[in-house]
A and B are shown apart, each in its own frame.
Chain A
């Protein structure tokens, strides 16, 4: 029979007392809870955690050249791109081709950012807009026009107004 360690009640009581003291001290620390829909803490300025954005050049032309590399990179098959040749008189993007249609399905997107890494022209980037809630399936598919616009202010998504 192996010898069992004897319980030292003195040190056990001391340990419990120290534990109680440690827990009591937490009362005076600042609470970490954020009252989310009521008070929205802005995310860090350089955070890239949320919705995509299709960027433009400074002269207003779209950076996207319709190469579909983002769609190939996407592990969730969330991106749909349809490329077309530019009209030389009225180019949408510099170069030969542009994206005629560009859609991202946010019911599929897993926010991995591989599309952003794949993009050769920095046309596709992530923003800090994380309120991706929708009321219908159709709404969850963002079109090219929506993706070209910067995302709305936080706290305007459906469901947040009740806070």
Chain B
């Protein structure tokens, strides 16, 4: 690497950093506006045109508030936890390709910070680091409610990480790549969301739990736990948790976009060839985030034991079964030939359809017999 490469790299880092902050700003405003829309309200209207500067107003307010450290707090850990909340969210975004590579100063510049050969593993690693910020914050506050919130949260995040990883593994098998750019490249004909739709659904649900968004916002649960793990935080430290949470939402949406929705791919006219992939990427990310906000506006928080039961007894077995099926789809044609496998799957599907049609009739009769006795 010569000097120009370094300058380009640093420039990319700075641009991505500020672009992410800007996206968080717009995301918070968008979330409030969309939820308001769904509740026949108007949402923030005062700061800037239609309230778009509300996040800046919130940020300034939080910045100038007094930061209180509880007397019982473990000071160094208490100071460190908000930073840990933000860092992995930023770092995870480093491997996301958000545009087509361009020619600049006679060399190819990828729209991506680092195209790691283990890109997907990097994302899994970073998302598992998120748990630390919550555990440390809850523990170091030296207070009951934050501790309860963080205990709930760590159990929840670790459980759903398994389901999330299973969904991602299926994509890795199907795309036959760990490098993010290769996964995007493998989706040039069909986006993974079509052949890997069950995996996509698993990922979206697990992503909700990973980012602690409603209906899985038990770590915060403001109606029961005050505010969960960040009860004792105020001022700029609280703002960092808030920022980390929204950054995480963006990252989860960006990963979903890259792995299932074809990344930056989309129809593009010839003018400004670098711009269209970027716009497609943004559009897809916003779409996923919109669905998350929509779910938040609709579903109530679920009970904790139901949350765990759903994660362990539904998502994980379902994910395992889906991996097995994906593996079968990939390997069996090589072993037995394409036609035999297609026939086998068709017969299996037909049997499944027939059984699902007949089963309700049988089940109803059984229920009636029970009711008669």
Q: Judge if A40 is at the interface, Cβ distance under 8 Å.
A: no
B41 touches A23 (CB 8 A): no
Number of interface residues of B (CB under 8 A): 14
Which residues of B are interface residues toward A (Cβ below 8 A)? 36-42, 45, 294-295, 297-299, 314
A32 touches B298 (CB 8 A): no
- Chain A residues near B314: list those with CB within 8 A: 9
Chain A 22-40 interface residues, beta-carbon cutoff 8 Å to B? 22-24, 26-27, 29-33, 35
- Chain B residues near A22: list those with CB within 8 A: 298
Q: Judge if A19 is at the interface, Cβ distance under 8 Å.
A: yes
B40 touches A24 (CB 8 A): no
- Chain B residues near A1: list those with CB within 8 A: none
Nearest-neighbour CB distance to chain B for A162, whole angstroms, equals: 10
A18's nearest neighbour on chain B, judged by CB, is B298
A20's nearest neighbour on chain B, judged by CB, is B298
- Chain B residues near A20: list those with CB within 8 A: 294-295, 298
- Chain B residues near A30: list those with CB within 8 A: 40
A19's nearest neighbour on chain B, judged by CB, is B298
A16 touches B299 (CB 8 A): yes
A23 touches B298 (CB 8 A): yes
- Binding site of A, secondary structure by majority: helix, strand, loop or mixed? helix
Nearest-neighbour CB distance to chain B for A99, whole angstroms, equals: 45
Q: Bound complex: CA of A16 vs CA of B310, how far in Å?
A: 15
B306's nearest neighbour on chain A, judged by CB, is A7
Q: Bound complex: CA of A35 vs CA of B42, how far in Å?
A: 9
Q: Bound complex: CA of A22 vs CA of B36, how far in Å?
A: 15
Q: Bound complex: CA of A30 vs CA of B299, how far in Å?
A: 22
Number of interface residues of A (CB under 8 A): 15
- Chain B residues near A33: list those with CB within 8 A: 41-42
Nearest-neighbour CB distance to chain B for A161, whole angstroms, equals: 15
A31 touches B42 (CB 8 A): yes
B40 touches A26 (CB 8 A): yes
Q: Bound complex: CA of A16 vs CA of B294, how far in Å?
A: 12
B40 touches A23 (CB 8 A): no
- Chain B residues near A26: list those with CB within 8 A: 37-40
Q: Bound complex: CA of A129 vs CA of B36, how far in Å?
A: 29
Nearest-neighbour CB distance to chain A for B30, whole angstroms, equals: 14
A31 touches B41 (CB 8 A): yes
Chain A 90-128 interface residues, beta-carbon cutoff 8 Å to B? none
Q: Bound complex: CA of A32 vs CA of B314, how far in Å?
A: 40
24 pairs of residues in contact across A and B, judged by CB atoms under 8 Å: A9-B314, A16-B298, A19-B298, A19-B299, A20-B294, A20-B295, A23-B38, A23-B294, A24-B38, A24-B294, A26-B38, A26-B39, A26-B40, A27-B37, A27-B38, A29-B40, A30-B40, A31-B37, A31-B40, A31-B42, A32-B40, A32-B41, A33-B41, A33-B42
Extra inter-chain contacts (20) besides given A20-B298, A26-B39, A31-B42, CB under 8 Å: A9-B314, A16-B298, A16-B299, A19-B298, A20-B294, A22-B298, A23-B294, A23-B298, A24-B38, A24-B294, A26-B37, A26-B38, A27-B38, A29-B40, A31-B41, A32-B41, A33-B41, A33-B42, A35-B42, A35-B45
B356's nearest neighbour on chain A, judged by CB, is A10
- Chain A residues near B297: list those with CB within 8 A: 23
